[in-house]
C-alpha cells in the first residue's frame, strides 16, 4: 500500500501534449478514480503510473520512492486491463500463478496463495479452465485475482467494467469495491462512466484535455461542480448564460441576471462579477402554474413532454428562446401539458454559478 | 536509465536485421541497378540504349507484357468465376474445389511445366495418341503452352483472394439494395461487385507480377517466344561470355515493370478498401438439375486439370523409359532406383539447404515482424519496407544480384552452399513475415503488458507470453516456407555451382535433355518432401495452414 505523488507531469505523443503539467496526490489506501471523456488523458496517466509510458517531464513517487524511471516490471503494481488480458494459452490457475512464479515462490506457497485469491474473487473451482471457457465477468474476476495475488503496492484498473453488460457491471463493481476495502490497497481506477465513479470512489479527479478540472469526493463533485465542464459531464445539467451582479443574501450566494430577471444562485467560492454560467440539473428544477408571482423563477413554455416511468421529462422554452430540460418525479400528481405556460423555479441552493 | 536499456535490446535487434537486409538485399539490388547504366562491352552504348535499340529486347519486353496481360485476364476469369460459384452456390462435388489451394502449393512450377509437356509436348502422351488417330495437335511450345500452363498455375491466387472477399461480404447490403428497389441480379452487380473488386484487382496484379518474373515455365515452354526473364537468365549463363551490363539492364527492366504494377496495387488497395462493419455471410444456394450438373462438370474439369501434373509425375516416375522415350503403360522401377540410389545428391542438397534456410528465415521473420508490429522505432519502417522488397523482384533477378555482389570481395560466397541458402532465405522472407505479423496484430498489447506488470522483464515476457501464442502461426509459416523453398528454382538455378544441384534444378536440367522419366522420379521426391511436412502439420499438429496463406 503506497501513497502516489505526481508532480509537474508532462506526456506528449508525436508533439501532441496529452498530459500537461499535472499534479496529483493519491492518499494511501484510497479508491481514486480518474474520470473523463475519451481522449482526456486518463488512460495515459494510468499507463504512466504503471510505467508503460515514459513522461517527458515531472516525477512520480510511491511513498518516498522515486518511480519516474523504474521499469514497469519493477514497480510492484497490479494492473487490470480493459480487455482482461488473460493469457489465453494458460489455465486460470497458471494465469494467477504467473506473477508468483516470476517472483520464484515455492510451489506450495503459490498453491495456497492462488487458492486464497481465487476464493476471494469467487472463482474457486475454475482452476483448470482456460480463459476462453469463461464468461466476461468471470474473466474479469480472474484478472483481478491475478493482479492482487502479487500483493502490489498499488492497483491500477483501466476501464475494467466497460466490456460487461449493465447488470454484471453493477455486480462486479460491488465486488471490486468490497475487495478493495478488504485488502486496503491504493487503487487508481479509470472510467468514463460517471455512475461507476460516483459509486466506487473515495475521491474523483475529473480530467479534461490532459488537465484535472476538479478533484474531490463524489458528493461535492456532483452538487458543487467547479466548472461548466464538470457540471455538464457529471449528470446532465442545463448550462444557461448568466451575469453575476454581486453578493447575495447568504455568504455562499450571489445575485445573478438570468434571462433578463434577477435571481439568487449558489456559488461555491469567490465569484467575480460578470459573465458566467448557471448550472441547474433537470431534477432540481420545479414548475408552478403561470400567473403565480414567484421568487427565483423564470417564465417558460412547455415544448415537449416525455413519460419515462420513473420520471417525466419536459423540454421548456425560456423567454430568450433557449430550451432547458426539467424532470419531475414519475408519480407526481401535477400535470403540465405541451404548450402550457409555466414558471420554472430555480432553487437557490441547486442553481450553481460555474466559470466558463 | 533502465527503460532506455530495455528499449535498446529491441533497438540492437532492429540494427542487426537492418544490416542483414542491406547486405543481402539492398546492396545486390543497387549493384544490379547501377551496372545497367554502364557501357556495354564492345560498344559505346549504355545498357539501356542497347535495350531499346535491339529488336530482340524490345520484342521480349512486348511479349512479356502481352503474356502478363493474357494470363492475368484468363486466370482472373477462371479464379473469379470459381470463387463466386463456390461461395454462393451448392453443387455436387463442391468439396473437391477446397483442394485447389493445395495444388498450387504442392505442385512446383517446374513440375507443372514438365508434366504438361509429357502430355501435350511433341512426344507427349495425348499428342501421340491423337496423332495416331489422325488428329494433329498444334505445337504446345510457345504461346499456347505458356498461356495454358501459367493460367492453371496462377488462377488459384485469384480464387483464394476473391473467395475471401466474397465470404467477407455482408449479404445484408445486398438485401438493403433489394429493399431499395433493385433486382437481385442488379443488387449484386451494384453493391457486391464494387466491394469485392479491390480484392480481385489486387490478386490479378499479383498474378501479373508473377508472370513477368516467371522463370520455370517461361524457359521450358517459351521456345521461340522471347521473354524478359528468359533473356535475363540467358545473358547470365551465356557460353559466349556473360554480359554483365545487359543482364543488369534486363533485370532492371523487369524490376521496373513489377515496381510499377506493385505501386498500382498498393494504390488500389489504399484507395478502395471498404470496411464491412458486421458480416452475415451469404448462404449458398443449392442448385439442382442442369445448372448443378454444368457447374459440377466445370469445377471437375478445373480440379482434374489442376491435379493432373501430380498424377502424371507419379505415373511418370514408375514408367519404363529408354532415353527420352516414355513407354506409357509399361512400368519399371529403373528411374526411381537411379534417382534415389545412384544419384540422391540433389535430394540431399535440397533437404540440407531448405531446412537451414527455413530455420533462419523463420527466426528472422518472427523477430522482424515483432519489431515492426509491436516495437516500432526509427529503424522499423526501413525494415518493413526492405523485407517486403523480395516480393517485387523475381528469383532470377535476385540470384544475379547475389552472384554479382558476392563473387569477390570480403564476402565471396559464389560457389558455396551459403549463397543458395541466402537466396532461399531472402526470397521467402516476405512470406514468413506476413504470416507472423498477421498473428501478432491479433495479440493485444495488453497481454504483454499484463506480464510486465506482474514483474516479468520485457524480453522474458516476449518469450513466456507472446512466443507460445505465436507458436501455431510460426509452425504454419515454417511449413509453408519449407514447401515453397524446396521447390524454389529461379534464384537457385542462377547461384548454384556444380555439385550443389537441388532437386528442382536437377529436374530443370533433365527436362532440358528430355529425360522425363528421371525428371519425374525427382519430381516425385520433391512432391514427397513437400507433402510430408504438410501432412504432419495438418494431421498431427492440427495446424490451419491455409488460414495463414493469403
Count each helix (H run) and each strand (E run) in chain B, helices first.
27, 4
* Percent of chain A whose pLDDT exceeds 90: 43
CA distances from B336 to A246, B69, B339 (A): 106, 40, 5
Tell me the CATH number of domain A236-354, given options 2.40.50.140, 3.30.360.10, 3.40.1280.10, 1.10.238.10. Answer: 2.40.50.140
Do B536 and B341 meet the contact criterion of CB atoms below 8 Å apart?
A: no
C-alpha cell at A102: 516470476
Residue of chain A whose alpha carbon sits nearest to that of B457: A73
Residue B426 has pLDDT above 90, yes or no: yes
Length of chain A: 356
Do B518 and B320 meet the contact criterion of CB atoms below 8 Å apart?
A: no
Length of chain B: 550
C-alpha cell at B379: 529503424
Cβ contact, residue pair B449, A85, below 8 Å: yes
Residue of chain B whose alpha carbon sits nearest to that of A154: B453
CA dist B461 and A71 (Å) reads: 13
* Percent of chain B whose pLDDT exceeds 70: 92
- pLDDT for residue A292: 66
Cβ contact, residue pair A52, B454, below 8 Å: no
Q: How confident is the model at residue B1 (pLDDT cuts 50, 70, 90)?
A: very low
Judged by a CB distance cut-off of 8 A, whether residue A113 touches chain B is no
Structure letter (DSSP) for residue A273: S
CA distance A153 to chain B (A): 12
Q: Which residues contact B308 (CB under 8 A, 6 or more apart)?
A: B115, B119
Q: In 10 A of CB A235, how many CB atoms?
A: 19
- pLDDT for residue B43: 65
- pLDDT for residue B549: 38
Q: How confident is the model at residue B540 (pLDDT cuts 50, 70, 90)?
A: confident
CA distance A47 to chain B (A): 10
Do B384 and B433 meet the contact criterion of CB atoms below 8 Å apart?
A: no
Do A61 and A5 meet the contact criterion of CB atoms below 8 Å apart?
A: yes
Q: Which of A59, A67, A73, A78 would best serve as a mutation to test chain B binding (most B beta carbons within 10 A)? A: A73
Mean pLDDT value across residues B488-516: 88
Chain A hits for B452, CB-CB cut-off 8 Å, are 51-52, 72-73
Mean pLDDT value across residues A38-42: 89
- pLDDT for residue B11: 85
Cβ contact, residue pair A71, B2, below 8 Å: yes
**Residue A303 backbone phi and psi in degrees, to 5:** -90, -40
Strands ordered across the beta sheet of A311-317: A285-289, A341-346, A297-307, A311-317, A323-329
Judged by a CB distance cut-off of 8 A, whether residue A130 touches chain B is no
E-state strands within B58-165:
89-90
Domains and CATH numbers, chain B: 1-26+333-550 (1.10.3720.10), 36-317 (1.10.3720.10)
Using the Cα atoms of residue B209, residue B154, residue B147 and residue B312 in order, give the sign of their dihedral: positive
Judged by a CB distance cut-off of 8 A, whether residue A66 touches chain B is no
Cβ contact, residue pair A88, B2, below 8 Å: no
Q: Which residues pair with A134 in a beta bridge?
A: none
Residue B138 has pLDDT above 70, yes or no: yes
Q: In 10 A of CB A42, how many CB atoms?
A: 28
Do A110 and A97 meet the contact criterion of CB atoms below 8 Å apart?
A: yes
Which among B178-182, B186-190, B260-264, B500-504 has the top mean pLDDT?
B500-504
What is the domain partition of chain A in residue ranges?
4-223, 236-354
- pLDDT for residue B44: 65
Chain B hits for A71, CB-CB cut-off 8 Å, are 2-3, 6, 457-458
Residue B94 has pLDDT above 80, yes or no: no
- pLDDT for residue B69: 94
Among the partner residues B1, B446, B454, nearest to A98 by beta-carbon distance: B454
Residue of chain B whose alpha carbon sits nearest to that of A77: B453
Cβ contact, residue pair A99, B465, below 8 Å: no
CA distances from B3 to A5, A10, A70, B240, B340 (A): 20, 17, 7, 61, 57
C-alpha cell at B77: 476469369
Judged by a CB distance cut-off of 8 A, whether residue A199 touches chain B is no
Judged by a CB distance cut-off of 8 A, whether residue B329 touches chain A is no
Residue B77 has pLDDT above 80, yes or no: yes
Strands ordered across the beta sheet of A77-80: A77-80, A154-158, A186-191, A31-35, A203-208, A211-216
Q: Which of A47, A70, A82, A87 would best serve as a mutation to test chain B binding (most B beta carbons within 10 A)? A: A87
Q: Which residues contact A119 (CB under 8 A, 6 or more apart)?
A: none
Residue B6 has pLDDT above 60, yes or no: no
Cβ contact, residue pair A87, B449, below 8 Å: no
C-alpha cell at B178: 433489394
Q: How confident is the model at residue B242 (pLDDT cuts 50, 70, 90)?
A: low
Judged by a CB distance cut-off of 8 A, whether residue A142 touches chain B is no
Residue B3 has pLDDT above 60, yes or no: no
Average pLDDT over chain A, rounded to an integer: 89
Cβ contact, residue pair B1, A82, below 8 Å: no
Work out the angle at residue A349's Cα, subtended by the Cα atoms of residues A344 and A352, and round it to the nearest 5 degrees: 80
Domain covering A4-223: architecture: 3-Layer(aba) Sandwich (3.40)
Cβ contact, residue pair A150, B450, below 8 Å: no
Chain B hits for A89, CB-CB cut-off 8 Å, are 468-469
Residue of chain A whose alpha carbon sits nearest to that of B465: A87
Cβ contact, residue pair B452, A73, below 8 Å: yes
Chain B hits for A77, CB-CB cut-off 8 Å, are 453
Cβ contact, residue pair B450, A85, below 8 Å: yes
- pLDDT for residue A301: 92
Q: Which residues contact B263 (CB under 8 A, 6 or more apart)?
A: none
- pLDDT for residue B451: 92
Judged by a CB distance cut-off of 8 A, whether residue B468 touches chain A is yes
- pLDDT for residue B239: 53
| DSSP code string of B4-46 | HHHHHHHHHHHHHHHHHHIIIIIHHHHHHHHHTTSBPTTSS-B
Chain B hits for A74, CB-CB cut-off 8 Å, are 2, 455
Only one residue has cell 430568450, namely A320
Q: In 10 A of CB A265, how many CB atoms?
A: 28
Cβ contact, residue pair B455, A85, below 8 Å: no
Residues B142-152: tens digit of each pLDDT: 899 899 999 98
Three-state secondary-structure class, residue A291: coil
Residues A198-211: tens digit of each pLDDT: 999 999 999 998 88
Residue of chain B whose alpha carbon sits nearest to that of A152: B454
Distance from CA of residue B537 to its chain's centroid? 20
Q: Which of A85, A103, A155 would best serve as a mutation to test chain B binding (most B beta carbons within 10 A)? A: A85
Chain A hits for B449, CB-CB cut-off 8 Å, are 50, 52, 72, 79, 81, 85
Chain B hits for A156, CB-CB cut-off 8 Å, are 453
Chain A hits for B467, CB-CB cut-off 8 Å, are none
The H-or-E segment that residue A18 falls in is strand A16-26
Chain B hits for A88, CB-CB cut-off 8 Å, are 447, 469
Q: Which of A72, A110, A113 would best serve as a mutation to test chain B binding (most B beta carbons within 10 A)? A: A72
Residue B231 has pLDDT above 80, yes or no: yes
Tally A–B CB contacts below 8 A.
Answer: 76
Among the partner residues A69, A70, A150, nearest to B454 by beta-carbon distance: A150
Q: Among residues 68-97 of chain A, which lie with CB inside 8 Å of chain B? A: 69-79, 81-83, 85-89
CA distance B453 to chain A (A): 5
Tell me the pairing of strands A238-247 and B285-286. Answer: unpaired
- pLDDT for residue B272: 61
Residues A50-107: tens digit of each pLDDT: 988 889 999 999 998 999 988 888 888 999 998 888 998 889 999 999 999 988 899 9
- pLDDT for residue B273: 59
Judged by a CB distance cut-off of 8 A, whether residue B469 touches chain A is yes
- pLDDT for residue B5: 43
Judged by a CB distance cut-off of 8 A, whether residue A52 touches chain B is yes
Judged by a CB distance cut-off of 8 A, whether residue B446 touches chain A is yes
Average pLDDT over chain B, rounded to an integer: 83
Residue B550 has pLDDT above 60, yes or no: no
Q: How confident is the model at residue B2 (pLDDT cuts 50, 70, 90)?
A: very low
CA dist B234 and B238 (Å) reads: 5
Which among A280-289, B29-38, B174-183 has the top mean pLDDT?
A280-289
- pLDDT for residue A116: 94
Q: How confident is the model at residue B547 (pLDDT cuts 50, 70, 90)?
A: very low
Mean pLDDT value across residues A267-272: 76
Residues B317-376: tens digit of each pLDDT: 888 888 777 777 788 888 888 888 888 889 999 999 999 999 999 999 988 988 888 888
* Percent of chain B whose pLDDT exceeds 90: 14
Judged by a CB distance cut-off of 8 A, whether residue B378 touches chain A is no
Residue of chain A whose alpha carbon sits nearest to that of B2: A71
Q: Which of B450, B461, B467 would best serve as a mutation to test chain A binding (most A beta carbons within 10 A)? A: B450
CA dist B258 and B212 (Å) reads: 7
Residues A114-166: tens digit of each pLDDT: 999 999 888 999 999 999 899 988 999 999 999 999 999 999 999 988 888 88
Q: How confident is the model at residue B459 (pLDDT cuts 50, 70, 90)?
A: confident
Cβ contact, residue pair B2, A54, below 8 Å: no
Rounded to the nearest 10 degrees, the angle between the axes of helix B125-132 and helix B109-120 is 10
CA dist B112 and B523 (Å) reads: 10
Cβ contact, residue pair A102, B449, below 8 Å: no
CA dist B404 and B416 (Å) reads: 14
Amino acid at each position: 500500500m503506497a501513497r502516489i505523488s505526481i508532480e509537474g507531469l508532462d506526456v506528449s505523443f508525436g508533439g501532441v501534449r496529452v498530459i500537461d503539467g499535472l499534479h496529483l496526490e493519491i492518499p494511501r489506501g484510497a479508491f481514486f478514480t480518474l474520470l473523463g471523456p475519451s481522449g482526456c488523458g486518463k488512460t495515459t496517466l494510468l499507463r504512466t503510473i504503471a510505467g508503460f509510458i515514459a513522461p517527458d517531464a515531472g516525477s512520480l513517487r510511491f511513498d518516498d520512492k522515486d518511480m519516474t524511471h523504474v521499469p514497469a516490471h519493477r514497480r510492484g503494481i497490479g494492473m487490470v486491463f480493459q480487455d482482461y488480458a488473460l493469457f489465453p494459452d494458460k489455465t486460470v490457475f497458471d494465469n494467477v500463478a504467473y506473477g508468483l512464479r516470476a517472483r520464484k515462490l515455492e510451489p506450495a506457497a503459490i498453491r495456497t496463495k492462488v487458492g486464497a485469491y481465487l476464493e476471494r474473487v469467487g472463482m474457486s473451482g475454475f482452476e483448470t479452465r482456460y480463459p476462453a471457457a469463461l464468461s466476461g465477468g468471470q474473466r474479469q474476476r480472474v484478472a483481478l485475482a491475478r493482479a492482487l495475488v502479487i500483493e502490489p503496492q498499488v492497483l491500477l484498473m483501466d476501464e475494467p467494467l466497460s466490456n460487461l453488460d449493465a447488470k454484471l457491471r453493477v455486480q462486479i463493481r460491488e465486488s471490486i469495491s468490497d475487495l478493495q476495502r478488504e485488502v486496503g490497497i491504493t487503487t487508481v481506477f479509470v472510467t468514463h462512466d460517471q455512475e461507476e465513479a460516483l459509486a466506487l470512489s473515495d475521491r474523483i479527479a475529473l480530467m479534461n484535455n490532459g488537465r484535472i478540472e476538479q478533484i474531490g469526493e463524489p458528493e461535492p463533485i456532483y452538487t458543487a461542480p467547479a466548472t461548466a465542464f464538470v457540471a455538464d459531464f457529471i449528470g446532465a445539467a442545463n448550462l444557461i448564460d448568466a451575469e453575476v451582479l454581486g453578493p447575495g443574501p447568504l455568504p455562499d450566494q450571489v445575485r445573478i441576471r438570468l434571462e433578463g430577471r434577477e435571481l439568487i444562485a449558489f456559488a461555491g467560492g469567490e465569484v467575480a462579477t460578470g459573465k458566467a454560467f448557471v448550472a441547474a440539473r433537470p431534477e432540481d428544477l420545479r414548475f408552478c402554474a403561470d400567473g403565480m408571482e414567484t421568487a427565483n423563477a423564470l417564465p417558460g413554455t412547455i415544448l415537449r413532454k416525455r413519460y419515462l416511468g420513473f420520471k417525466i421529462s419536459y423540454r421548456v422554452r425560456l423567454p430568450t428562446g433557449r430550451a432547458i430540460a426539467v424532470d419531475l418525479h414519475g408519480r407526481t400528481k401535477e400535470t403540465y401539458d405541451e404548450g402550457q405556460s409555466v414558471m420554472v423555479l430555480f432553487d437557490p441552493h441547486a442553481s450553481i454559478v460555474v466559470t466558463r | 536509465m533502465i527503460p532506455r536499456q530495455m528499449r535498446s535490446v529491441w533497438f540492437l535487434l532492429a540494427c542487426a536485421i537492418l544490416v542483414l537486409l542491406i547486405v543481402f538485399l539492398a546492396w545486390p539490388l543497387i549493384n544490379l541497378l547501377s551496372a545497367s547504366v554502364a557501357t556495354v562491352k564492345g560498344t559505346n552504348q549504355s545498357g539501356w540504349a542497347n535495350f531499346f535499340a535491339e529488336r530482340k529486347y524490345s520484342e521480349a519486353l512486348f511479349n512479356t507484357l502481352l503474356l502478363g496481360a493474357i494470363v492475368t485476364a484468363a486466370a482472373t476469369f477462371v479464379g473469379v468465376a470459381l470463387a463466386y460459384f463456390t461461395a454462393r452456390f451448392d453443387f455436387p462435388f463442391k468439396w473437391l474445389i477446397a483442394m485447389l489451394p493445395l495444388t498450387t502449393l504442392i505442385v512446383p512450377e517446374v513440375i507443372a511445366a514438365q508434366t504438361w509437356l509429357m502430355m501435350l509436348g511433341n512426344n507427349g502422351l495425348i499428342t501421340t495418341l491423337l496423332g495416331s488417330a489422325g488428329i494433329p495437335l498444334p505445337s504446345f511450345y510457345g504461346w499456347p503452352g505458356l498461356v495454358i500452363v501459367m493460367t492453371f498455375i496462377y488462377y488459384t491466387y485469384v480464387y483464394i483472394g476473391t473467395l475471401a472477399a466474397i465470404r467477407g461480404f455482408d449479404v445484408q447490403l445486398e438485401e438493403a439494395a433489394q429493399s431499395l428497389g433493385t433486382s437481385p441480379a442488379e443488387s449484386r452487380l451494384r453493391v457486391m461487385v464494387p466491394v469485392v473488386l479491390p480484392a480481385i484487382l489486387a490478386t490479378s496484379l499479383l498474378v501479373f507480377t508473377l508472370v513477368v518474373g516467371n522463370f520455370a515455365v517461361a524457359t521450358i515452354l517459351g521456345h521461340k517466344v522471347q521473354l524478359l526473364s528468359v533473356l535475363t537468365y540467358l545473358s547470365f549463363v551465356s557460353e559466349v561470355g556473360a554480359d554483365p551490363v545487359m543482364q543488369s539492364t534486363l533485370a532492371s527492366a523487369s524490376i521496373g515493370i513489377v515496381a510499377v504494377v506493385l505501386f498500382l496495387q498498393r494504390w488500389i488497395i489504399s484507395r478502395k478498401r471498404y470496411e464491412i462493419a458486421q458480416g452475415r455471410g451469404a448462404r449458398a444456394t443449392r442448385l439442382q438439375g442442369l445448372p448443378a450438373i454444368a457447374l459440377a462438370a466445370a469445377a471437375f474439369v478445373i480440379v482434374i486439370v489442376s491435379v493432373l501434373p501430380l498424377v502424371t509425375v507419379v505415373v511418370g516416375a514408375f514408367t519404363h523409359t529408354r532415353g527420352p522415350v516414355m513407354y506409357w503403360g509399361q512400368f519399371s522401377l529403373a528411374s526411381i532406383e537411379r534417382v534415389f540410389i545412384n544419384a540422391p545428391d540433389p535430394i540431399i542438397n535440397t533437404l540440407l539447404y531448405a531446412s537451414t534456410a527455413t530455420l533462419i528465415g523463420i527466426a528472422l521473420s518472427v523477430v522482424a515482424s515483432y519489431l515492426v508490429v509491436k516495437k516500432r522505432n526509427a529503424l522499423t519502417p526501413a525494415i518493413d519496407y526492405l523485407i517486403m522488397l523480395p516480393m517485387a523482384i523475381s528469383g532470377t533477378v535476385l540470384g544475379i544480384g547475389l552472384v554479382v555482389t558476392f563473387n569477390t570481395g570480403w564476402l565471396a560466397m559464389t560457389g558455396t552452399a551459403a549463397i543458395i541458402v541466402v537466396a532461399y532465405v531472402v526470397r521467402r522472407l516476405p512470406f514468413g513475415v506476413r504470416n507472423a505479423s498477421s498473428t501478432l496484430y491479433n495479440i493485444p498489447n495488453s497481454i504483454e503488458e499484463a506480464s510486465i506488470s506482474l514483474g516479468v522483464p520485457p524480453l522474458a515476457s516476449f518469450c513466456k507470453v507472446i512466443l507460445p501464442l505465436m507458436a501455431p502461426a510460426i509452425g504454419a509459416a515454417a511449413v509453408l516456407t519449407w514447401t515453397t523453398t524446396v521447390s524454389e528454382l529461379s534464384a537457385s538455378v542462377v547461384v548454384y555451382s556444380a555439385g550443389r544441384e537441388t532437386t528442382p534444378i536437377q529436374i530443370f536440367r533433365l527436362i532440358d535433355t528430355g529425360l522425363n522419366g528421371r525428371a519425374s522420379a525427382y519430381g516425385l521426391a520433391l512432391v514427397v518432401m513437400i507433402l510430408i511436412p504438410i501432412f504432419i502439420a495438418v494431421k498431427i499438429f492440427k495446424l490451419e495452414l491455409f488460414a495463414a496463406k493469403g
